Every structure is written in C-alpha cells, then in structure tokens.
A and B are shown apart, each in its own frame.
Chain A
C-alpha cells in the first residue's frame, strides 16, 4: 500500500490527527455516557481505585503542601507584621488553586498512568478486541466507567486535600502564632466566597474528566507491544498534566471575569 502524502508536514499531520481523534473520542464518550448499560458495579470499582486508594497519597501531599506553604509564606508576611493574615492567605490559595491543582497532578501521576498502562496492556494483548467479540462494548465498559470515576472522584479528593492542607497549615500556625482553631477558621474563611468554593469544585470535575479521558485515549490507542504500554502510560501523565495546567489558566480567567461581573 503506497504511503499517502502528508498535507502539511508529517509531525503537524500527526498532531492534527491526534487532536481530531481525541475530539472524536470525547464526543464518543458523551454519546455513550447516556446510554445503558451503565456498568454501575464497574464504576464503583473504579471509584474505589481512583478515590479511596488515592486518599492516603492525597492526604500526605495536601498535609505537606499546607505546612510548607504556610512556612514559606510566613517570612514575607512577618516583614509587614501581618502574620495574622496567614490563615486567610493559605485558605485562599488552597481553596482557589492549590488543592485542585495538587490533587489533579497527583491523580494524573497515580491514576492516569495506571489507566493508560492498564488499557494499553489490554489493547496490545487484544483483550479489547476480545471484549467486542463477546458482545461487550469495550468503550462503554472501559472508557466511560474510568472517565466517570475520575470525574467524580477528583472533586471529592480535592475537598479532602483542602481539608488536610488546612489542618497542616493550622498546626503550623498554632505552633508558631498560638492561634486557636476557631480564630483560624474564621480568619481563613472570611475572605472565601461561594464563587471560590464552587469554582474550585467545578474545576476539579474538569480536571478529573481530563485525566480520565486522556489516560483512556492513550491506553485505547496503544500499539507496538509492551513498549506501547509504557508509552501510553507516559503520554497519559504528560498530556494530562499539560492539559490540567492549560485548563487552570483558562478557568482562572473565567472565574476572574465572573468575579468582576
């Protein structure tokens, strides 16, 4: 079969083809999502894998983030004699940005690579084709369930991350400034609005969906044997992280616009 001539350049063509395939993959997800069967048991299993099993790692990361961010912020505020603003600063940073971002990145590393490798392995070992033969829609069973699980679990993990991060920050503030928990909560949440909270949760839904869909796409399109599995896992992490950062920038702009309206 003769090689077709590239439209622009081989690299650009590959990129555009990936964008087109990815878009088609997303459209296919939303097309399949509404139709039964919903594979509830599999969704719960994936929620368990994505959510519950990620909780220790998220808790540890969130706790350390809270403590480190508090410790790093203190000298700057102390220069103005404004260490009493630490709770407010930390809460704002955690709720608005740090918690969703840290959770998304940790989930990208842990869950995205896992899904990419799992589906990639199934792809190269032709298990997906076997499922099609056995009258099971592999897209519905593998992609929709996993993407749904990451979409639902990342926001919950974000809330946990925020809570644990604030706990770590409070312990540090209480140790250094002898501030009470009540004063910490009042001071911290005084500057937080519902827009901050809901935008953070909404952002986490988008991050979760992005991680799931990219990992599933990379795994679903793995090739070249075991090497392809590694590539799928790696690409899942790299692309998902990249997408999360791009989304973060865009969402922040939208939230700022909403705040000014």
Chain B
C-alpha cells in the first residue's frame, strides 16, 4: 500500500535530513581530526632527501601530532623545500632552534616529519621560520647498516672456519692442546701438581688458622698487644718523657746539656773526677794505716770479734 503524498513528502524529507546530518557529522569528524578549523603557522625546512614524504603527511613533536606537510617544492638542484603547517597552540612549545628530520610512522607506516631538540630558552617558532635539518636514519640507512653487518658477519664466519680447520689440523697452541697426546699428558701432570699444591695450601691455611687462634689467646704477647688498652698510653707517655730528656740534653742551660755540649766543662769535670779517684786511693791507704795505729787498733779488733760472733751464733 502506497503512502499518501503528504506522508511520502515527510518520509523523503526525513530520509534526506538524516542523510545530510550523517554527511555533516562526517565532515566535522574529518575536519576535527585533520585540524581543518585550527589556526596554523607555516614554517619551512630544506631537506636534501625527502624519501617519499608527501603533502598531508603528519608532523610530530615529542610524539604528538602538531601539524601536516603543506607543500613540497624543489629548491635548486640539491634540496627540497618542505612547508610545514603547524598548529598555532602547539607552536608555542616548539623552540625555534629545533631540528626537523624525516621519520616513519612505524616500520611500514607513512612518512612523517619529526621535530626534536631545541633549547628551552629559545624563542618559540613563528610564521616563516626556517628550521634546521637533522640527520635521519631511514629504512635505507638501516638496511645499509645491516648489509655492512652481514659483510662483517661473513668475514668473521670465514675467519672462524679457517681457525677451526687449523685447530682440527693440530696447528697452533689450541690445535696442539686439542690433538697432541704428549701435551695432554703434560697438562694432566700440571693439573695433578696444581692439585697437590692446592692441598698443601689448604694444610698451610689450616696451620695458620691454628697459629692465629693461639696468638689470640689471653696472656699471649700478641693478644695483649692487640687488646691491651694501657700499653699504648704508657708508651706514649714514655716517648714524651724521652722526648723531654732529649730536649734537656739539647738545652745548654741544664747540667746535662752543658756536659753534652760544652767540651771545656766536660774536660774540667773529667779532671775533677781523676783528682777525686787519686784522692780516694790516697784516703784508702791512709785509713789502712790508721787501722794499724795504736789508738785505733782496739776499735777494729773489737768489731772483728763482734762480726765473728754474729756469723757463728752456735758458739
């Protein structure tokens, strides 16, 4: 059953309106995602090689999308001038001394322009600025490096192959070590000697441990020296006394200092002592003579008797 003309008009209007709204939603979504309605500035970077970069590719700064490539033009015969359209609100955070390089959005992704570096003190980029270009490591460079690594790897493998062949043939130290029976026996003997030496070292270590334990016992000199808290202060005091004595020897005002330093005084003292020795000898003779004197003989005989009596108490 066909609807009435009026109802049909409403349905057609509704149909078209919803379709138009979907279209508008699509336009706004694209516009928002592509920043169509955002204010932008344009700066330029001159690359020697753009490696497939094209209009509309993204620009990243600190991992965030900040704009798109606006235009690519040849500049002379060696450079491509790339106009970068950057969102104005993002441009305030991009220093004017930032570098631009061409990167890739993932391993197989689209080309992108990466802005990096720059000093925080530099002015933000402005309309018409020309950015410096940094070194980019593109897939071609990565592949070239890998190719160089492959060549090196082949060379290493070839060398290794030759080395293993020589070892297998018994050439060189390693080859002899692997194939020579005499060298093997010698090495085994050396190992046995080393084992014996190790055992001896073990015994020596055990003896040293016992000796150390004995030294550590109380009353042992080493233990006392290591643990006593009085010896060291006494030694320090004695050292100070000796230092004072030595100081006294050096002092010319003291008797010892005078004797040590004044040769005339020392000679006088020596002469005095000699005189004293002679006087003492003469005095001893005089006293011997006195013992035989009539007046004093009784005293000495009396003392002898008392001494004999004291030595022989049983009598």
- Decide: B5 and A160 in contact? CB cutoff 8 A: no
Identify the stretch in B9-17, B214-222, B285-293 within 8 Å (CB) of chain A at 4 or more residues: B9-17
Contact with A along B26-46 (1 / 0, CB 8 A): 110111011010000000000
- Decide: B11 and A160 in contact? CB cutoff 8 A: no
- Decide: A159 and B12 in contact? CB cutoff 8 A: no
Within 8 A of B (CB), among A46-85: 47-48, 51-52, 55, 80, 82
Q: Which residue on chain A has the smallest CB distance to residue B56?
A: A193
Q: Does A202 contact B (CB under 8 A)?
A: no
Number of A-B pairs, beta carbon distance below 8 Å: 65
Known contacts A41-B5, A159-B23; A189/B16 CB under 8 A: no
- Decide: B33 and A159 in contact? CB cutoff 8 A: no
Cα A201 to Cα B27 with chains together (Å): 12
* B41 CB → nearest A CB, Å: 21
| B156 partner residues in chain A, CB cutoff 8 A | none
Cα A27 to Cα B38 with chains together (Å): 44
Q: Does B19 contact A (CB under 8 A)?
A: yes
- Decide: A189 and B8 in contact? CB cutoff 8 A: no
For chain A, the count of residues having a C-beta within 8 Å of the partner chain is 28
**Residue from the list A82, A152, A185 in contact with B29, Cβ < 8 A:** A185
- Decide: B23 and A44 in contact? CB cutoff 8 A: no
Q: Does B142 contact A (CB under 8 A)?
A: no
Cα A81 to Cα B23 with chains together (Å): 32
Cα A45 to Cα B33 with chains together (Å): 39
For chain B, the count of residues having a C-beta within 8 Å of the partner chain is 23
Cα A160 to Cα B34 with chains together (Å): 23
Within 8 A of B (CB), among A157-202: 157, 159-160, 162-163, 185-186, 189-190, 192-194, 197, 201
| B8 partner residues in chain A, CB cutoff 8 A | 44-45, 48
| B9 partner residues in chain A, CB cutoff 8 A | 44
Cα A189 to Cα B19 with chains together (Å): 18
Cα A55 to Cα B22 with chains together (Å): 14
Cα A155 to Cα B22 with chains together (Å): 12
* A95 CB → nearest B CB, Å: 8
- Decide: B23 and A190 in contact? CB cutoff 8 A: no
- Decide: A48 and B27 in contact? CB cutoff 8 A: no
- Decide: A159 and B19 in contact? CB cutoff 8 A: yes
Q: Does A215 contact B (CB under 8 A)?
A: no
Q: Does A156 contact B (CB under 8 A)?
A: yes
Known contacts A156-B19, A201-B23; A192/B11 CB under 8 A: no
Centre residue among A155, A160, A189 by max chain B CB count within 10 A:
A189
- Decide: A194 and B33 in contact? CB cutoff 8 A: no
Known contacts A48-B8, A80-B108, A190-B33; A197/B15 CB under 8 A: no
Within 8 A of A (CB), among B53-70: 56
Cα A157 to Cα B16 with chains together (Å): 9
| A160 partner residues in chain B, CB cutoff 8 A | 18-19, 22
Cα A249 to Cα B95 with chains together (Å): 47
Q: Which residue on chain B has the smallest CB distance to residue A155?
A: B19
* A160 CB → nearest B CB, Å: 6
| A163 partner residues in chain B, CB cutoff 8 A | 22
Q: Which residue on chain B has the smallest CB distance to residue A163?
A: B22
Closest 10 CB pairs of A and B: A156-B19, A48-B8, A47-B12, A159-B19, A189-B29, A159-B22, A52-B15, A48-B12, A163-B22, A189-B33
